[in-house]
Chain A
Amino acid sequence: MKTMLLTVLSALFLCHGGTAQAQTVQDILQSQRALIEQSSRRTIGPAIDAIADSGLAQMQSVLEAWQAKDMWQRLEDGFFFAAHKTADGSYELTDFESGAVIGTYPKDALAQIKPNSGIRAMIATALVRFQLSDPDMARRGEALDSIARNPEAGLLGPLRAAIPSEKDPTLLARKLRLERLMTMSYDTDTAARVAAITAMAGDLGVDFRATLNPILTTRIVVADAGVTPEGNIAATLVPGEAALSRDAAYALLVEADKAQPVLTPDARDAGLEAHIESGRIAGTPIAKLDTETARDAAYGALAAKGLVPLLVHPPDIDASLANHQFFSIYHEPSQQVTEAAEAALAKSQSRVVASQAIDLGLDALSLASIYFLAAIGLAITFGVMGVINMAHGEFIMMGAYTGYVVQQFVPNHTASILVAVPLAFAVTFAAGVALERLVIRWLYHRPLETLLATFGVSIALQQLAKNIFGTQARPLTAPSWLDGAWVINDVVSISYIRIAIFVLALMFMGLFVFIMKRTRLGLETRAVTQNPRMAAGMGINPDRVNMLTFGLGSGIAGIAGVAIGLFAKVTSEMGGDYIVQSFMTVVVGGVGNIWGTLAGALMIGGFQKGVEWLNPSNTLAAQTYMIVFIIIFIQFRPRGIIALRGRAAGD
């Protein structure tokens, strides 16, 4: 009762406030005094509106003081002031109108206005309209953020009012966009809403789609056959189709009291158990009730006697469903608006799909470049030399750990990466040369045993890394200029690290082709690979060439390790994650050909992303299908995509 009285009072005050001209801040505050003093979230709305709508510039500081609990009331006359505590514990009051200090009062002559958190949130909303025209650009931006987060019908007017005065082009564009979006939802004029929706149709922004979706929300309504319900009908639903399952449709009927509820097995059993008479239920011995049909029959017998509610049989469900119609009805009453929104959303959706395809392509490309990077060292040791090096993955790991160790000593990330890349090459080059000299060179004519011996090395290196660095993942931090992503639109974006890896992969590819085709080492490597004895006869030292080539392949794996470590965790097991994929890349692409490795990486990366796209929840499945695909692919092209022909093919 008191609340109602206050509301009426405040409404009176409001009318009064609206008609009077040239009011002062204090006039308006006094007119809302009762509400402000009461400080209740449910009733404070009109007071805040009155203050915010007064048009007085000083009201911003009033609201801010109020929100910050700095507004105090002088008890002797009930006037409101901004107050702040002085050193001796009394309070210095400032007039809102003039900003002048009017004196210092002891605390017991004043009362603090304490808005609760709900009221403070309402004040914050009211403040937005002042902030929209704030001279400070950052605050205008924040105000826009706040509106975009929590759009309200009441903010549309202030937003529009703040547009003509906006000078900054970026903020102006944001204000205009937000105004369009809010027009769609909140304008009272249907034509204006339709115009706004149509104008933005096809837009890719998440905000646009997020604005349209609430307009297009529907509810499902049950009607008797032949009756068309009121409202903006979106569609007629047939139970059993995707939009409305039969169970859901029947549940709606039950909810609308148009059908009997279906008995759950638990309810049925409870009904049966409640009617046990000397070991029998409706004449049937309990022990016989061990099938569903027997229980249904017993329940039916009970129901026939009227002891339990009737059991609904499937035919009853069909009949009930056939006697009713189901409609989905837009919450939005205007049909013009929903039609325009549907059309606009469809247009956006088709563009979103196109953009997603581009995004997927970029993802696939970046995955392919990672595979390529991991495999390129193998393209040398396995592809060119024909040596199976199962410790290749561990060389990648060594490179990544080298990067991690360098970062412990060189804090600057850019510098540390610049140091780490050549160092990783040096470390893994040395490791590769050692492996070649100590193990592989004895096994050139026994490839299966190379595989086994390098497995041994791989196991030992992995455990060694675990002993040194522990089992937890170590970070290899990218320089800050590689943070972030290149955002093309709301759907398509690619992180800079992935671009960098792509560029790195291209550089390696160029380097590989250059070394193989344009340098003495490349020439000698190819000669030794094709025919070691004849190459030796031409004055080439096969031992030295094998050693250097193997070292080169291992060194490149080390650099790849630094690159991979930048976006994946550095662990002792990271090599194992790449080894099988790397071999697959080389085998699928075609052994002995760098273009084949590239094609293999593109194909595997593309295929994997494609499967992930079809089944986004499950990346494991994507890898499984990829392996199955590779096994089948090898059936058709056993020598890979780009097969060597003639003498170069070897055996």
Chain B
Amino acid sequence: MNRSFIARNPSVLVFLALLALFTLVVSVLSEGFGIGLVSTSFVKTLGKTLCLCLIAVAMDLIWGYAGILSLGHFAFFGLGGYMIGMWLMYERTRQIVVSSLSEGVLPPTPEEIETGIAGQIFGVVGSADFPLIWAFADSLVIQLALVVLVPGILALVFGWLAFRSRVTGVYLSILTQAMTLGLSLYLFQNASGLRGNNGLSGLQNLPGVSAPQSVVSMWFFWASALALALGYLLVAWVVSGKFGSVIRGIRDNEARVRFLGYSVESYKLAVFTLTACLSGIAGALYYPQAGIINPAEVAPIASIYLAVWVAIGGRGRLYGAVIGAAFVSLVSSWFTGGQAPDINLGFYTIQWVDWWLILLGLSFVLVTLFAPSGMGGLVDLLMRGKKRGGNT
């Protein structure tokens, strides 16, 4: 089965080979393990980009293949980040607290350590107790499970409610956006137990690891590349089989698929939940590289940008999503980072920091209007041209 799946989808193999090559090149050039041509911060940027590619693949599955324009997947991404962030922050603070308490005459008691950690973490929001949701923060295994479970269960409940009542199309998009807005507003509260708008910080430090950031960043880069490869394989496998045919059918004509006897809601729910879990994993790998997560990351606009990437990259083709996410997020950070040269028109200087969003917005309109298949469409054109060339 697996062999035939790869054989039927040569593009998957090509993608994996390219990803492996890219990873190898970056490793060789990195500061941590190679000749140091690529700086640590750029390795982090690349690693984060790989995570964004992973969530874009998930977005492509739900939108490009199942036709559900979810404007809430960045919320799942953020939740994944929060879940791993809780453990990272708890464990690091615990080590600091223990080492400072050990300087006292008496050995620290568990209660003292707990109070010390709570004071350190929640002092900024005027609290000194652990909220209930931090109950498992001391266990890496449970928090890793929660990275998948929390977004998954939220998606399951929300999706069940939404699909059951046959909310479709733009209504569903607006409803998912409302969910994202609700979640980010909730996280903004100090009482949310996740430090309000301070968010979780210091996530780039792995507790108990003394290796320098240049090495740690490479670990995360590899982990991100591996996650992207596995996620890509999984999604490619999902869409290649009968399941993929059914969800494409739902996208193209939901009523007809329902009349054929398929439980449309179950398929949608499965896709929605699966992609939410993938997003959670992507987020859990992204935020330790970013170092900080706060509720602004979960705001509705982030999920909209996700849709923008996938649309520009090209829906309905997984490599399109990857290309779009990588291209737009890297170009975006290039423009907004102030590195792009300003254009002097004589009477006015175009500063890209200010004008990039306008360019992005307008190019998005143009892509939607004139190139619905996005940048991935170019690959299609090339392929078709080659095939035709081979035939004649």
Interface residues of A (CB under 8 A from B): 265, 269, 272-273, 276, 286-287, 289-292, 295, 388, 439, 442-443, 447-453, 455-464, 466-467, 576, 580, 583-584, 587, 618, 620-621, 623-624, 627-628, 630-632, 634-636, 638
Known: A289-B106, A290-B108, A295-B106. A443 touches B368 (CB 8 A): yes
Contacts of A628 in B (CB 8 A): 182
Q: Is B177 an interface residue (CB 8 A)?
A: yes
- Interchain CB contact (< 8 A) of B111 among A292, A443, A623, A632: A292
Q: Is B369 an interface residue (CB 8 A)?
A: yes
Using a CB-CB cutoff of 8 Å, which residues 339-367 of chain B contact chain A?
354-355, 357-358, 360-365
> Do B181 and A295 touch across chains, with their CB atoms under 8 A apart?
no
Q: Is B22 an interface residue (CB 8 A)?
A: no
- Chain B 233-266 near chain A by CB (<8 Å), digits 1 or 0: 0000000000000000000000000000000000
25 contacts between A and B (CB under 8 A): A276-B105, A289-B109, A290-B110, A388-B174, A439-B369, A443-B368, A453-B365, A453-B369, A455-B308, A456-B364, A459-B304, A459-B357, A459-B358, A459-B360, A464-B358, A576-B301, A580-B181, A580-B300, A583-B174, A620-B189, A621-B189, A627-B182, A627-B185, A631-B162, A632-B161
Known pairs A455-B307, A467-B355 / 8 extra A-B pairs, C-beta < 8 Å: A443-B368, A447-B169, A452-B307, A453-B368, A456-B361, A580-B181, A583-B174, A627-B182
Contacts of A453 in B (CB 8 A): 364-365, 368-369
Contacts of B174 in A (CB 8 A): 388, 580, 583-584, 587
> Do A580 and B177 touch across chains, with their CB atoms under 8 A apart?
yes
Q: Nearest residue in A to B169 (C-beta to C-beta)? A: A447
| Least CB distance, A409 to chain B, in whole angstroms | 23
> Do A452 and B300 touch across chains, with their CB atoms under 8 A apart?
no
Q: Is B202 an interface residue (CB 8 A)?
A: no
Q: Nearest residue in B to A274 (C-beta to C-beta)? A: B105
Q: Whole-angstrom distance between the alpha carbons of A291 and B112 in the complex? A: 9
| Least CB distance, B324 to chain A, in whole angstroms | 13
Q: Nearest residue in B to A623 (C-beta to C-beta)? A: B185
Q: Whole-angstrom distance between the alpha carbons of A476 and B321 in the complex? A: 43
Contacts of B177 in A (CB 8 A): 580
> Do B69 and A448 touch across chains, with their CB atoms under 8 A apart?
yes
- Interchain CB contact (< 8 A) of B109 among A291, A623, A634, A636: A291
| Least CB distance, A619 to chain B, in whole angstroms | 9
Q: Is B119 an interface residue (CB 8 A)?
A: no
Q: Is B165 an interface residue (CB 8 A)?
A: yes
Contacts of B161 in A (CB 8 A): 631-632, 635
Using a CB-CB cutoff of 8 Å, which residues 113-170 of chain B contact chain A?
158, 161-162, 164-167, 169-170
Q: Whole-angstrom distance between the alpha carbons of A290 and B102 in the complex? A: 11
> Do A286 and B355 touch across chains, with their CB atoms under 8 A apart?
no
- Chain B 200-212 near chain A by CB (<8 Å), digits 1 or 0: 0000000000000
Q: Is B173 an interface residue (CB 8 A)?
A: yes
> Do B357 and A460 touch across chains, with their CB atoms under 8 A apart?
yes
| Least CB distance, A298 to chain B, in whole angstroms | 9
| Least CB distance, A506 to chain B, in whole angstroms | 27
> Do B182 and A290 touch across chains, with their CB atoms under 8 A apart?
no
Using a CB-CB cutoff of 8 Å, which residues 363-377 of chain B contact chain A?
363-365, 368-369, 372
> Do B189 and A634 touch across chains, with their CB atoms under 8 A apart?
no
> Do B69 and A463 touch across chains, with their CB atoms under 8 A apart?
no
- Chain B 87-115 near chain A by CB (<8 Å), digits 1 or 0: 00000000000000000011111111000
Q: Is B186 an interface residue (CB 8 A)?
A: yes
Q: Whole-angstrom distance between the alpha carbons of A510 and B112 in the complex? A: 66
Q: Whole-angstrom distance between the alpha carbons of A453 and B367 in the complex? A: 9
> Do B304 and A455 touch across chains, with their CB atoms under 8 A apart?
yes
Contacts of B175 in A (CB 8 A): 587, 631, 634
Contacts of B167 in A (CB 8 A): 634, 638
> Do A630 and B178 touch across chains, with their CB atoms under 8 A apart?
yes
> Do A452 and B368 touch across chains, with their CB atoms under 8 A apart?
yes
- Interchain CB contact (< 8 A) of A618 among B105, B191, B308, B358: B191
> Do A580 and B358 touch across chains, with their CB atoms under 8 A apart?
no
Contacts of A635 in B (CB 8 A): 161, 164-165
Q: How many A-B residue pairs have CB under 8 A?
A: 151
> Do A451 and B173 touch across chains, with their CB atoms under 8 A apart?
yes
> Do A289 and B368 touch across chains, with their CB atoms under 8 A apart?
no
Contacts of B304 in A (CB 8 A): 455, 459
| Least CB distance, B137 to chain A, in whole angstroms | 21
Q: Whole-angstrom distance between the alpha carbons of A632 and B161 in the complex? A: 8
Contacts of A287 in B (CB 8 A): 107
| Least CB distance, A251 to chain B, in whole angstroms | 20
> Do B311 and A631 touch across chains, with their CB atoms under 8 A apart?
no
Q: Nearest residue in B to A586 (C-beta to C-beta)? A: B174
Q: Whole-angstrom distance between the alpha carbons of A265 and B112 in the complex? A: 10
> Do A467 and B186 touch across chains, with their CB atoms under 8 A apart?
no
> Do B165 and A624 touch across chains, with their CB atoms under 8 A apart?
no
Q: Whole-angstrom distance between the alpha carbons of A272 and B369 in the complex? A: 77
- Interchain CB contact (< 8 A) of A620 among B185, B358, B372: B185
Q: Is B171 an interface residue (CB 8 A)?
A: yes
- Interchain CB contact (< 8 A) of B369 among A442, A576, A580: A442
Q: Output the residue of B164, B169, B185, B189 with the most chain A CB within 10 A.
A: B185
Known: A290-B107, A631-B175. A456 touches B182 (CB 8 A): no
| Least CB distance, A383 to chain B, in whole angstroms | 12
> Do B365 and A457 touch across chains, with their CB atoms under 8 A apart?
yes
> Do A443 and B369 touch across chains, with their CB atoms under 8 A apart?
yes
> Do A286 and B105 touch across chains, with their CB atoms under 8 A apart?
yes
Q: Nearest residue in A to B372 (C-beta to C-beta)? A: A449
